[in-house]
């Protein structure tokens, strides 16, 4: 049963990065869009993401619940040593979630919109940055449960080059996912060509940021490159991801929307898989080398079994309705609520 729980944990994290990532990316895109085009971009975003918006961040909550029920030492170690970036990420989540809805449900369209937009775009940027940073810190090997000083225990684990570069990389990925996702939605040719431009820009960003992560891992002595290149499976997946990026680049303009979306999802999944495979079963790499893994940190016996059953039964309800939700709003022309 432990494996069922582990699979759900990976799945919900993957879903959060893919769907949530596209969602954050839409906000990031706004920062990089000339003011004259923003209105149209916002419209497109709202139509595409609006209906599934609420469901997106549920993946994060599921992952958190799995962590604290199934793997409490991992949850508490992260909460204690990464308290500060977690709190900052929460602020981002609050700002973003509320601003997104407020700007659509404010009964009047006036200067308040500027405030909402400001909060929306910047928190879209902050949240994935800290999410990535936390991820980087977990595997960066700087968490030290024995540390005494404030800096050593609560700052250094995440305030280092490697974690920060993973944060930047995550931001780039979100922008990449969103721009590719929106390509298929844009109806007006002018909007479409702007979005394609952004997509290309973000592909370049992602590649550069990926390079940055490797460089930082060398500087911070995180054993990443050497080990990644030792295993055939990780090499294979990363090569496939690279090929997919190249294909995507060529097909952006004329490719159909399902195909480009699939490719972008594939790229991100492959990167995560390569990392996941490489680190499995460890989740937190500590300074002393006594890592916390899904095996040595899991609850045992009934808690895991009931959690697994709850997840299995839950997904019987959730997956069909989620599928139907996405299906129902495919290619919808009018956001009815907005003028309703």
Partner 1 sequence: MDDLFAARSQMALSLGFHIIFACIGMVMPFFMATSHYKYLKTNNPLYMDLTKAWSKGVAIFFVTGAVSGTMLSFELGLLWPEFMLHAGPIFGMPFSLEGTAFFIEAIFLGFFLYGWGKFKPWFHWFTGVVVGISGLASGILVVAANGWMNSPSGFDFVDGKFLNIDPVAALFNDAWFTQALHMSLAAFTATGFAVAGIHAYMILKGKNREFHRKAFTIAIVFGAIAALLQPISGDISAKDIAVRQPAKLAAMEAHFETSKSAPLIIGGIPDVEAKEVNYAIKIPGALSFLAHGDFEAEVIGLDQFPEEYHPPVAVVHYAFQIMVGLGMVLVGLSLLYFLSLWKKKDWQLKPWFLWLFALATPLGFIALEAGWTVTEVGRQPWIIYEIMLTKDAVTPIPGIKYSFFIFTAIYVSLAGIVSFLLYRQIKAVPDSLKKNSQASSNT
Binding region for ligand HEM (CB under 6 A): 58, 61
For residue 227, the minimal CB distance to partner 1 (Å) is 30
Q: Distance between CA 291 and CA 252 in Å, rounded?
A: 42
Distances (CA, A) of 45 to 246, 250, 251, 270: 25, 24, 22, 26
Would you count residue 201 as binding partner 1 (CB under 8 A)? no
**What region does 221 belong to: left with phi over 0, alpha with psi -120 to 50, or beta?**
left
Sequence-ordered list of residues with C-beta below 8 angstroms from that of 66, at least 6 positions apart, any chain: 5, 8, 9, 12, 307, 311
Nearer to partner 1, 270 or 283 (CB): 283
For residue 56, the minimal CB distance to partner 1 (Å) is 9
Q: Distance between CA 173 and CA 300 in Å, rounded?
A: 36
Among 36, 301, 330, 331, binds partner 1 (CB under 8 A): 301
Distances (CA, A) of 247 to 203, 210, 281: 12, 18, 32
Would you count residue 91 as binding partner 1 (CB under 8 A)? yes
Would you count residue 311 as binding partner 1 (CB under 8 A)? yes
Element (H, E) at 52: helix 35-56
* Piece in contact with partner 1 (CB under 8 A), picked from 208-216, 226-234, 260-268, 298-306: 298-306
For residue 178, the minimal CB distance to ligand HEM (Å) is 21
Q: Distance between CA 249 and CA 272 in Å, rounded?
A: 20
Enumerate binding residues for partner 1 (CB under 8 A). 50-55, 57-58, 60-62, 64-66, 68-70, 72-73, 75-76, 78-80, 83, 86-87, 90-91, 93-94, 97-98, 100-102, 105-108, 150, 153-154, 299, 301-304, 306-307, 310-311, 313-314, 317-318, 321-322, 325, 328-329, 332, 335-337, 339-340
């Amino acid at each position: 049963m432990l494996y069922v729980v582990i699979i759900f944990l990976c799945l919900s994290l993957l879903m959060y990065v893919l769907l949530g990532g596209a969602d954050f990316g839409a906000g990031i895109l706004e920062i990089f869009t000339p003011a004259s085009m923003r209105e149209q971009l916002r419209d497109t975003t709202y139509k595409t993401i609006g209906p599934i918006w609420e469901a997106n961040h549920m993946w994060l909550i599921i992952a958190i619940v799995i962590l604290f029920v199934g793997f409490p030492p991992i949850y508490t170690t992260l909460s204690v040593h990464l308290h500060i970036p977690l709190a900052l990420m929460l602020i981002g989540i609050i700002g973003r979630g509320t601003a997104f809805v407020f700007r659509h449900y404010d009964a009047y369209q006036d200067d308040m919109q500027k405030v909402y937009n400001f909060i929306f775009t910047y928190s879209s940027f902050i949240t994935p940055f800290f999410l990535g940073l936390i991820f980087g810190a977990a595997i960066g090997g700087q968490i030290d449960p024995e540390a005494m000083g404030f800096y050593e225990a609560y700052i250094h684990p995440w305030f280092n080059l490697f974690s920060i570069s993973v944060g930047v990389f995550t931001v780039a990925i979100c922008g990449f996912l969103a721009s590719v996702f929106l390509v298929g939605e844009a109806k007006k040719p002018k909007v479409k060509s702007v979005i394609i431009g952004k997509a290309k820009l973000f592909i370049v960003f992602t590649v550069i940021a990926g390079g940055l992560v490797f460089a930082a891992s060398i500087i911070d002595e995180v054993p990443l490159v050497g080990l990644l290149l030792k295993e055939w499976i990780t090499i294979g997946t990363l090569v496939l991801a690279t090929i997919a990026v190249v294909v995507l680049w060529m097909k952006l303009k004329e490719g159909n929307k399902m195909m480009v979306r699939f490719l972008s999802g594939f790229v991100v999944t492959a990167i995560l898989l390569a990392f996941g495979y490489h680190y499995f079963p460890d989740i937190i790499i500590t300074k002393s080398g006594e890592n916390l893994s899904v095996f040595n940190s899991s609850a045992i016996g009934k808690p895991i079994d009931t959690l697994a059953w709850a997840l299995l039964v839950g997904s019987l309800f959730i997956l069909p309705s989620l599928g139907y939700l996405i299906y129902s709003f495919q290619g919808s022309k009018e956001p009815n609520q907005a003028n309703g």
